[in-house]
Amino acid sequence: MPDQRPAATTHGVPIELRKVTKAFPGGGEPAVQELDLDIAAGEIVVLLGPSGCGKTTTMRMINRLIEPTSGDIIINGQNSRDIDPDRLRRHIGYVIQQAGLFPHMTVAANIAQVPKMLGWDRERIAERVDELLTLVGLEPEQFRDTYPRRLSGGQQQRVGVARALAADPPVLLMDEPFGALDPITRERLQDELLRLQDDLAKTIVFVTHDVDEALKIGDRIAIMQRPGHIVQYARPAEILTNPASEYVEQFLGSGSSMRLLRLTKVGDIELDQVPFFPEDRDCADVLREVERDGRGYALITDGMRRPLRWVSTADLEGRTGPAGSAGDPVTGTISHRSTLQDALEALLNADTDILPVEGRRRTYAGALSLSTVQNAIQSIKARERERRLKRSGAG
Amino acid sequence: MTLWEYIEDRWDLIVFETWQHASMVAQCVLVAAVLGVLIGVATYRRPRPSALATAAAGVLFTVPSLAMLGLLIPPLGLGVAPAVTAIVLYALLPIVRNTIVGLRDVDPLLVDAARGIGMSRRRSLLKVELPLAWPVILTGIRVATQLSMGIGAVAAYVSGPGLGEQIFSGLARLGGANALNATLTGTIGVAILALVFDGVFVLIGRLTTPSRRPASGGARA
């Protein structure tokens, strides 16, 4: 059985673009204009924009598939101009749309290309190929000697990612890698990329025109506008709640409230602070507190503050002794890491109208009901309205 | 004398001429293949030189073979030299054209992938572009071979080697003894050789294009 994780992974390195310009001969206006971009080590930066905005050109300048007309690209402190382009590219993983696998080579041979160029010995390459296939979720025994045309689109792109990771490069460039896949496969590969990235922590530059993909994948998003400049470079939530311009807002399109539901974590909103009591508290004691609170119900937790049971005033009336056995057991919880969308889903499917939220180490952090979510949506909308008013007032 | 008796009578000579013919065609096609692929590789990226190369080879192609051989006599004399030169020149066109077409037909995405993972121009050409263009190039070489078979027979006109000798000697004394037998022997010999060579190309094609074969240990879709 090959090892699940790479033995030692090279983590990402920072990339800086300094006043990078690309003018194509006879192309009139430059495709990329004095672009500055700081990419932090180990982050996924998405270049997002309509076709022709220069996002692909920008990405291709990083591995010098396109030479900048002027400006500097500094990778881990080293100017890319000072590195031989072929050598530079062997240390930058490259993933393109439809994977771009060589059809006359087996899956293993495709993955082995970069290690071969780097002069690895046969045994080490074979080991690495199996390790990578396992990493991207393909059984080595089954896929090693297969030709790419026998694979589905999703499988091909997995091999594409494996090929890019072959020599363990610190940087990965991905040019609309999931663009040609069906929505379900695309979602799954996005999820897996994020899962991989948790372990690998590469610096990834990801080009897409798909807003949802950008919001999901990106640690930061650079929204680009024709011709070749960045209009906003920020984290996804900030781009949604605080678009830098009319253009950004238009490009994001409608449905940004729904997108916020997908982006906002339960831990980030104001939760319903239902009172809670440890299971060894006396029933009469709890009843008094619950009546004072006025909600008419409360949560019983264990010694570690983890939610156990719901109790109402009716459950408690006339009872004595510890409250631990009163009321009904909690049937479902929501993690503070869940998105609001997932939380909404859980609430709609739950037996109770309210669900406890578990924070760190699964301790009780508050409770969520449909009305809590609704309030959160409303406050997001109110913030948005306020911002618009402010902008139209200023403009 | 029947055809069989004629062949039996001259078996050694016919085998020798057949061998000469095959050897001449094989060597000429080999030279043309190397030259043609080199010309194709050198020009396919730029439209003007590649158009020029194809056009030049095309012009050569339109010169009738007898005229070409005749024209080659003053500079090269009689015998092997003009025959080989003519065959190589004719064989160039299909090879150059198919090399250019084959290399141009390689998906640009794959060339981009090759360059993007750090292959040099040369490595990308050798490892990705030429192997992918190979079936088309091979077809060109195959056509060139068939062509050379015929031209090779005509080359006897300039005293070139091969089965053409039988054909021309037969035609020269048409009506005389064994004239028809000689011509038939030469013609049939060339046809058989052509079929054998074609079979060899089918085999080469099978052996050199692994992606056409069903993959071993195939994966489920």
Q: What is the pLDDT of residues A250-266, one digit of tens each?
A: 888 877 677 878 878 88
Confidence of residue A388 (pLDDT cuts 50, 70, 90): low
Q: Is the pLDDT of residue A76 over 70?
A: yes
Q: Do B132 and A103 touch (CB under 8 A)?
A: yes
Q: Is the pLDDT of residue A201 over 80?
A: yes
Higher pLDDT, A61 or B218: A61
Per-residue confidence of chain B (221 residues) as pLDDT tens digits? 788 888 888 888 888 989 989 999 999 999 999 999 999 999 998 889 888 888 888 888 888 888 888 888 888 888 888 889 999 999 998 999 999 999 999 999 999 999 999 999 999 999 999 999 999 999 999 999 999 998 888 888 787 788 888 888 888 888 787 888 888 888 999 999 999 999 999 999 888 876 544 433 333 33
Summary mean pLDDT of chain A: 88
Q: Is the pLDDT of residue A178 over 90?
A: yes
* Among chain B residues, CA nearest to A105: B211
Q: Is the pLDDT of residue A6 over 50?
A: no
Would you state the pLDDT for residue A269? Answer: 86
Would you state the pLDDT for residue A40? Answer: 94
Q: Do B109 and A65 touch (CB under 8 A)?
A: no
Sequential DSSP letters for chain B: --HHHHHHHTHHHHHHHHHHHHHHHHHHHHHHHHHHHHHHHHHTTSHHHHHHHHHHHHHHHHS-HHHHHHHHHHHH-SSHHHHHHHHHHHHHHHHHHHHHHHHHHS-HHHHHHHHHTT--HHHHIIIIIHHHHHHHHHHHHHHHHHHHHHHHHHGGGGT-SSTHHHHHHHHHTTTSTTHHHHHHHHHHHHHHHHHHHHHHHHHHHHHH-GGGSPPTTPPP-
Higher pLDDT, A199 or A385: A199
- Is the pTM value of this prediction over 0.90? no
Instruction: Report yes or no: A273 and A366 within 8 Å, Cβ to Cβ.
Output: yes
Nearest by CB to residue A94, choosing from B110, B116, B120, is B116
Question: Residue range A366-383: average pLDDT?
Answer: 85
CA distance A95 to chain B (A): 8
- Whole-number percent of chain A with pLDDT over 70: 95
- What's the ipTM? 0.79
Would you state the pLDDT for residue A132? Answer: 94
Interface mutation vs chain B, best among A147, A150, A172, most B CBs within 10 Å: A147
Q: Does B128 touch chain A (CB under 8 A)?
A: yes
Q: B175 burial class (0-12, 13-18, 19+ CB within 10 angstroms)?
A: exposed
Nearest by CB to residue A150, choosing from B114, B127, B219, is B219
Would you state the pLDDT for residue B80? Answer: 85
Question: Residue range A276-295: average pLDDT?
Answer: 89
Give the model confidence (pLDDT) of A115-136 as tens digits.
999 999 999 999 999 999 999 9
Q: Does B217 touch chain A (CB under 8 A)?
A: yes
Instruction: Report yes or no: A90 and A60 within 8 Å, Cβ to Cβ.
Output: no
Measured between beta carbons, the chain A residues lying within 8 angstroms of B128 are: 102
Would you state the pLDDT for residue A394? Answer: 57
CA distance B221 to chain A (A): 6
Q: What span, in angstroms and rounded, lies between the C-alpha atoms of A326 and A381?
A: 40
Q: Do A89 and B131 touch (CB under 8 A)?
A: no
Give the model confidence (pLDDT) of B57-86 as tens digits.
888 888 888 888 888 888 888 888 888 999
Would you state the pLDDT for residue B177? Answer: 78
Q: Do A102 and B109 touch (CB under 8 A)?
A: no
Q: Is the pLDDT of residue A392 over 80?
A: no
Q: Does B205 touch chain A (CB under 8 A)?
A: no
Would you state the pLDDT for residue A9? Answer: 78
Measured between beta carbons, the chain B residues lying within 8 angstroms of A101 are: 113
Partnered with residue A16 across adjacent β-strands are A38, A74
Confidence of residue A5 (pLDDT cuts 50, 70, 90): very low
Q: Does B211 touch chain A (CB under 8 A)?
A: yes
Tokens of A293: 């609170």
Would you state the pLDDT for residue B172? Answer: 83
Higher pLDDT, A124 or A322: A124
Collapsing DSSP states into helix, strand and coil, what is residue A172?
Answer: strand
Would you state the pLDDT for residue A339? Answer: 85
Nearest by CB to residue B215, choosing from A86, A98, A147, is A147
Tokens of B34: 């190397």
